[in-house]
């Protein structure tokens, strides 16, 4: 073939117009200038929108959770603590897992496969929770799957090693570790701490590739040491549970106070719940009945009535009160005793628990004098303790009392109080007439806690002797006596209000007292609601729980027995006593 000389082509050898090359250069220059101007506009003059878009896609502010403070008993034993429990989440748009991997993930997270599939098909393709608070070993197994789009964040969940025994006292937290009930709620600010944070850039797979700025470290919550003795709390709970079950009752409460410092040593309630099981966190069993609910106390108010009269100089322990023939007409009402006790001394009124004797003593007093003493004992007002929902009870102003109401209040009807309020009121007898404020937190030096004098020393000691007579033979509380310790206390059997009236066969059984009698160290109140197994009186239903709890409380606190224990074999048939 004949060779072709391209350089000789007319098209290549022809001269292009100069204006055309200049136009091309100007066009390229304008294009670059436009790009530079656009870049300057985007990056310098108006970059807020584009920066926001970039941050929305790749910049994240990660919360660094604070470790919630521990709750300890008075001896440093653990009642509540936080453990690491990561949260597992997914970015559905980035999840790359076959069916077998998804099935394994669902198994580890303890959820049905179809539920997992539904979450991964969520409308929000950037974020969805798979499971909150996964145990650390399970979280590690999930991480070992190395599934794209599956992530974890550090988190904590609460553990309650003492379980049901302290449930209503300690309370619980929500999924975000914020207190919702009990001490967890009332002391939430101290326990919670403050979360930290850090800003990071994440790639499309959710991996952190760069940190922006300084990290703000979390501030862990403070530990809290309660006044509760968990060994005594567990023991009281077990005895209360056994009594409620044996008596076929609805519920029960036990309160134990340090008679000198005002510290709460035990607040036990039954039925209870498992605080770590969120499926149980509903229903009436969440209530701490010893603190949040008020009941008519019945005959346990009689020692207070007598103490007011003694302090007022209206009666003496040996003053005689006529109670025959066992009933007393007051207006259109008739008040009854369980027996015709005839003529009783004031101390006999307490020993036999005479309603008529109590109301006749109250008639010697003015309503104002009774009301002021009740109020000084903490009745009708909220206890000053770190606990949410503590009830005030009911105590109407004295100006509104009718004669029959003054009479019924003398033996415990027409007013209401919580078991904690009743136990606190009895502290005035145990502490020689001085009422010390309550505390759910351990007090470093109880001797420095100021109290309020309610009764004289002589009155408090006289009432203690009457309470001791009430548990001795001939009294209503003989089943309250522990081995080796002297005790004083009072039974109570109160009819329950139903639909505006009083039920004929529904009662609350009470026993409140202290030990040892000469120098009391503990005050204990026991309430059993609606016993239905054949016994109703405080002396047979509540007194045995008091006996066991008092004995254990004194042993735990190292109080030596004040009575000589003589071995003996006794066979007896305990008859029910009046209230």
Catalytic positions, please?
299
262 phi, psi to nearest 5 deg: 80, 5
Q: Structure tokens of 516? A: 């040892």
Residues 6 or more apart in contact with residue 507 via CB below 8 angstroms: 493, 494, 495, 496, 530, 531, 536
- Residue among 384, 408, 383 at smallest CA distance from 393: 383
3-state SS of 322-375 is ECCCCEEEECCEEEECCCCCCEEEHHHHHHHCCHHHHHHHHCCCCHHHHHHHHH
Q: Say how many residues make up the chain.
A: 579
Angle (CA) 130-136-142 rounded to 5° is 50
Integer angstrom CA distances of residue 28 from 24, 34, 35, 36: 6, 10, 11, 12
Q: Which long-range contacts (CB under 8 A, 24 or more apart) does 128-132 make?
A: 128/89, 128/90, 128/92, 129/87, 129/88, 129/89, 130/88, 130/89, 130/90, 130/105, 131/87, 131/88, 132/87, 132/88, 132/175
The distance from CA 118 to its chain's CA centroid, rounded to whole angstroms, is 37
Angle (CA) 159-162-167 rounded to 5° is 80
CB-count exposure of residue 439 (10 Å: 0-12, 13-18, 19+): buried
> For the residues of 129-198, what is the DSSP string, one character each?
EEESS--HHHHHHHHHT--BTEEEE--EEEE-TTGGGGHHHH--B-TTS-B-SHHHHHTHHHHH-B-EEE
Task: Give the C-alpha separation, 577 to 377, whole Å.
Answer: 28
CB-CB contact of 468 with 460 (8 Å) = no
Dihedral angle sign, alpha carbons of residues 531, 533, 539, 540:
negative
């Amino acid at each position: 073939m004949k060779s072709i000389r391209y350089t000789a082509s007319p098209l290549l050898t022809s001269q292009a117009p100069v204006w055309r090359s200049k136009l091309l250069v100007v066009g390229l220059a304008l294009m670059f200038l436009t790009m530079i101007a656009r870049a300057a506009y985007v990056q310098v003059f108006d970059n807020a929108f584009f920066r926001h878009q970039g941050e929305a896609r790749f910049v994240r502010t990660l919360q660094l959770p604070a470790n919630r403070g521990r709750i300890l008993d008075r001896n440093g034993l653990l009642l509540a603590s936080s453990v690491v429990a990561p949260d597992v989440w997914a970015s559905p748009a980035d999840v790359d897992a076959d069916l077998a991997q998804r099935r394994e993930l669902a198994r580890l997270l303890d959820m049905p496969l179809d539920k997992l599939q539904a979450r991964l098909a969520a409308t929000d393709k950037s974020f969805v929770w798979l499971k909150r608070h996964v145990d650390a070993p399970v979280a590690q197994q999930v991480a070992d799957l190395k599934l794209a789009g599956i992530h974890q964040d550090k988190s904590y969940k609460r553990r309650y090693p003492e379980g049901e025994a302290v449930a209503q006292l300690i309370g619980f937290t929500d999924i975000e570790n914020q207190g919702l009930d009990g001490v967890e709620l009332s002391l939430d600010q101290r326990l919670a701490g403050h979360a930290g944070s850090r800003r990071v850039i994440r790639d499309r797979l959710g991996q952190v590739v760069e940190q922006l700025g300084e990290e703000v470290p979390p501030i862990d919550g403070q530990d809290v040491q309660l006044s509760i003795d968990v060994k005594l709390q567990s023991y009281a709970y077990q005895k209360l549970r056994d009594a409620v079950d044996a008596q076929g009752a609805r519920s029960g409460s036990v309160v134990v106070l340090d008679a000198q410092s005002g510290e709460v040593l035990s607040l036990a309630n039954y039925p209870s719940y498992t605080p770590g099981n969120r499926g149980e966190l509903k229903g009436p069993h969440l209530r701490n009945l010893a603190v949040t609910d008020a009941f008519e106390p019945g005959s346990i108010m009689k020692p207070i009535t007598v103490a007011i009269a003694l302090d007022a100089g209206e009666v003496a322990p040996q003053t005689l009160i006529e109670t025959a023939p066992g009933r007393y007409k007051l207006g259109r009402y008739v008040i009854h005793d369980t027996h015709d006790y005839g003529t009783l001394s004031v101390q006999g009124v307490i020993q036999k628990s005479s309603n008529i004797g109590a109301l006749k003593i109250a008639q010697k007093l003015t309503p104002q004098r009774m009301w002021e003493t009740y109020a000084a004992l903490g009745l009708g007002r909220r206890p000053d303790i770190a606990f949410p929902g503590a009830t005030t009870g009911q105590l109407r102003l004295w100006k509104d009392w009718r004669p029959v109401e003054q009479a019924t209040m003398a033996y415990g009807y027409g007013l209401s109080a919580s078991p904690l309020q009743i136990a606190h009121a009895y502290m005035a007898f145990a502490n020689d007439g001085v009422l010390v404020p309550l505390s759910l937190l351990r007090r470093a030096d109880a001797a420095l806690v100021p109290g309020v004098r309610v009764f004289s020393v002589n009155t408090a000691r006289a009432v203690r002797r009457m309470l001791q007579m009430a548990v001795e033979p001939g009294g209503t509380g003989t089943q309250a006596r522990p081995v080796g310790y002297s005790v004083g206390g009072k039974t109570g059997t109160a009819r329950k209000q139903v639909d505006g009236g009083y039920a004929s066969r529904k009662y609350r059984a009470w026993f409140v007292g202290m030990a040892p009698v000469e120098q009391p160290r503990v005050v204990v109140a026991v309430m059993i609601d609606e016993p239905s197994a054949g016994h109703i009186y405080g002396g047979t239903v509540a007194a045995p729980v008091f006996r066991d709890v008092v004995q254990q409380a004194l042993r735990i606190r190292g109080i030596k027995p004040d009575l000589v224990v003589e071995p003996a074999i006794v066979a007896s048939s305990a008859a029910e006593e009046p209230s």
